[in-house]
Amino acid sequence: MAPKYHGVDFYAIDSLLSEEERAVRDTVRTWVDGELMPVIGDAYLEGKFPKHLIPGMAELGLFGANLPEEYGCAGLNNVAYGLIMQELERGDSGVRSFASVQGALVMYPIYAFGSDDQKRTWLPQMASGKAIGCFGLTEPDHGSNPAGMITVARETKDGWVLNGAKMWITNGSTAHVAVVWAKTGAPDDSGSIRGFLVPTDTRGFSAKDQKGKLSLRASDTSELVLQDVHLPKDAILPKSGGLKSPLMCLTQARYGISWGALGAAMACYDEAVSYAKNRVMFGKPIGGFQLQQARLAEMLTEITKAQLLVLQLGRLKDQGSMTPQQVSLAKRNNVSMATDVARETRRLLGANGILAEYQAMRHLANLESVYTYEGTHDVHTLVLGQEITGISAFE
Partner 1 sequence: MKIAVCIKRVPDSETRVKTAADGKSLDDAGVKFILNPYDEFAVEEALQRKEKAGAGEVVVLALGGPAGQETIRTALAMGADRGILLQTDAVPPDAFVTAQAIAAELKAGGPWDLVFFGKMAIDDYNGAVGPMVAELLDLPCVTAVSHLAIEGATVTADREIEGAVEVVRCALPAVLTTDKGINEPRYPALKGIMAAKKKPLDVKAVALAAGVIEVLEMTPPPARKEGKIVGEGATAVPELVRLLREEAKVL
In the complex, the residues that contact partner 1 under the rule CB under 8 A are 4, 6, 19-20, 23-24, 27, 30-31, 59-62, 65, 69, 74-76, 80, 84
Which is nearer to partner 1, 84 or 224 (by Cβ)? 84
Residues 258, 331: contact at Cβ < 8 Å?
A: yes
Least separation, in Å, of the C-beta of 88 and partner 1? Answer: 13
| Residues whose CB is less than 8 angstroms from the CB of residue 291 and which lie 6 or more positions away in sequence, other chains included | none
Which is nearer to partner 1, 24 or 132 (by Cβ)? 24
Which is nearer to partner 1, 12 or 388 (by Cβ)? 12
Q: What is the DSSP string of 217-274?
A: TTS-EEEEEEEEEEEEGGGB-TT--STHHHHHHHHHHHHHHHHHHHHHHHHHHHHHHH
Pairing of strands 280-281, 284-285: antiparallel
| Per-residue CA distances from 383 to 147, 150, 191, 326, 391 (Å) | 15, 24, 20, 10, 10
Least separation, in Å, of the C-beta of 280 and partner 1? Answer: 12
Which is nearer to partner 1, 62 or 198 (by Cβ)? 62
3-state class of 201 per DSSP? Answer: coil
Pairing of strands 159-170, 193-199: unpaired
Q: Which residues are catalytic?
A: 374
Cα distance between residue 270 and residue 300, in whole Å: 10
Least separation, in Å, of the C-beta of 70 and partner 1? Answer: 12
Least separation, in Å, of the C-beta of 307 and partner 1? Answer: 17
Least separation, in Å, of the C-beta of 380 and partner 1? Answer: 30
Which is nearer to partner 1, 79 or 153 (by Cβ)? 79
Pairing of strands 221-232, 205-209: antiparallel
Cα distance between residue 181 and residue 193, in whole Å: 6
SS (H, E, C) 134-165: EEECCECCECCCHHHCCCEEEECCCEEEEEEE
Least separation, in Å, of the C-beta of 53 and partner 1? Answer: 12
Cα distance between residue 215 and residue 133, in whole Å: 21
Rounded to the nearest 5°, which phi and psi values hold at 222?
Answer: -135, 165
Least separation, in Å, of the C-beta of 65 and partner 1? Answer: 6
Which is nearer to partner 1, 68 or 232 (by Cβ)? 68
| Per-residue CA distances from 356 to 3, 95, 299, 360 (Å) | 16, 16, 21, 8
- Tell me the β-bridge partners of 236: 196
Cα distance between residue 253 and residue 108, in whole Å: 9
Residues 286, 277: contact at Cβ < 8 Å?
A: no
Least separation, in Å, of the C-beta of 20 and partner 1? Answer: 6
Helices (H), the chain: 19-31, 37-46, 54-60, 78-91, 93-100, 108-113, 116-127, 244-278, 290-319, 324-348, 360-372, 377-389
Which is nearer to partner 1, 61 or 91 (by Cβ)? 61
Which is nearer to partner 1, 84 or 207 (by Cβ)? 84
- Tell me the β-bridge partners of 181: 195
